Amino acid sequence: MNAFKDCLPAVILVCLSSAHAANDGAPAAVADLPGGVADVPLHVYNNLLVVDVAVNGGETRPFILDTGAGGTLIATGVVAAGAAEGEEPITVAGVSGTQEFAAARLDTLALGEAVLRGPVVACGDLSPLSRLLGFDIAGILGYDFLKNFVVKVDYDAARLTLYTPAAFGDGAGVDFIPATYGSGNPLVEMAVDDVSGKFVVDLGNPGAMLLNGAVVRERDLVNKAGAKLPAVLRGAGGDKGTEAWVVRMGEVRIGDHALAGPIVVLPTTENAILTCGEDVMGNVGWDLASRFVLYFDYPGGRLGLVPGARFGAPFDYDRAGLVLLPAGDGCYVVDKVASFSPAAALLTPGDRVVGINGEAAADVPAPEWGRIRSQPAGTPLTLTVERADGRREEVTFALAELL
């Protein structure tokens, strides 16, 4: 899982992979979908897809649907934590670090009529991720569940449909491109400008496309870019952040489709988790994926793309030019200010932001800040700041096109 429609120009990335030494003598999980089709509501929160999942036959709870997750994670308390018999702990690597989770064998994991019986999942504390995202999650639904089905994601209709291969058929009327799923992530061939190769289509990335840090360094993309904004990538796995730059590139091409002016994140370090693999060129998240109705044909090894309502919409991004980081007490701290931002003459790194547009900063979670700073150019933004000497001031400036 990976990018967020920016955590305070910090792109919040839910991306993760998991390493798990399975017990060879344990029974394999078995998928069941009576009738061949399950159609369920799809909730979009802060550009992440949330579905209602039942664990062990209990009440449904909100899970993030994450095609970039190598396995399923469940929050402590949803199911009793503790290593499953014969199973080793599961190491979960996320954007913000690596954590060890207990392994738990479930009776059932159900999404609508689709049921996975006997899966082994990672079980641990997801509260830091919930705080980062701005809403509580009970788990992350990943590859071990999704791989059994053809998965249709329709952002416009807010519906998720699961099919057995037999019920789906040949997918008449859908344009497909080859995809590989063996790594636990959907990989497709695509390109942004002259960077081409395998990209992961990661619905746990609620923001812009990002490129592999090694590619960014080898091709000197940061120095070659025009206008660029600083960002901090944060997500699952701990509290660490990865610094990056956000730029506008010329064109992104996937299948027979080309879109102009994509926003692209350029990490400054070579964190392979960001792209779910060292040999993967980049990570495609919400900003591009939500422009299509998507068909993840896991059993058939292909990805279907049908242009949706947002297909031709412009790619928007931050118009404030600020990186704000959580201070731990409900406030934000100004970490960086772009030199060409209208806020450059008003704010200094180290200033504490205690209010945003008349609301206490504690009541404005990171995703809401991302929405506020992406409003149209000319929109006024008022921040209440506390200076290093303790003085409080209100500063107001108009958002501007920065990329």
C-alpha torsion 228→244→351→96, nearest 10? 160
Residue 21 sits at the vertex; the CA angle it makes with 16 and 101, to the nearest 5 degrees, is 50
Of residues 86 and 163, more confidently modeled: 163
Question: What is the assigned CATH class of domain 183-289?
Answer: mainly beta
**Is the predicted pLDDT of residue 273 greater than 60, yes or no?**
no
Residues ≥6 apart with Cβ < 8 Å to 60: 52, 53, 54
The strand pair at 209-211 and 263-267 is best described as: parallel
Where are the chain's structural domains? 12-165, 183-289, 322-398
Give the whole-angstrom CA distance, residue 238 versus residue 236. Answer: 6
> Is 12-165 assigned to CATH 2.40.70.10?
yes
Q: Give all strands (DSSP E) within 120-254, no chain letters.
A: 120-124, 139-141, 150-154, 159-163, 175-178, 187-192, 195-201, 209-211, 228-235, 242-248, 251-254
The whole-model pTM stands at 0.85
Q: Among the listed ranges 20-29, 219-228, 284-293, which one has the minimum average pLDDT value? A: 20-29
Give the residue-averaged pLDDT of 256-267: 95
Return the pLDDT at 292: 97
Is the torsion defined by CA of 236, 241, 243, 246 positive or negative?
positive
In this predicted structure, what is the pLDDT of residue 70?
A: 85
| 281 or 84: which leads in pLDDT | 281
Note whether 12-165 and 183-289 share their fold: yes
Average pLDDT, rounded, for the chain = 85
CA dihedral for 170, 173, 178, 182, sign (positive or negative)? negative
Architecture of the 322-398 domain = Roll (2.30)
Least confident span in 8-17, 114-123, 293-302: 8-17
Q: Between residues 114 and 91, which one has the greater pLDDT?
A: 114
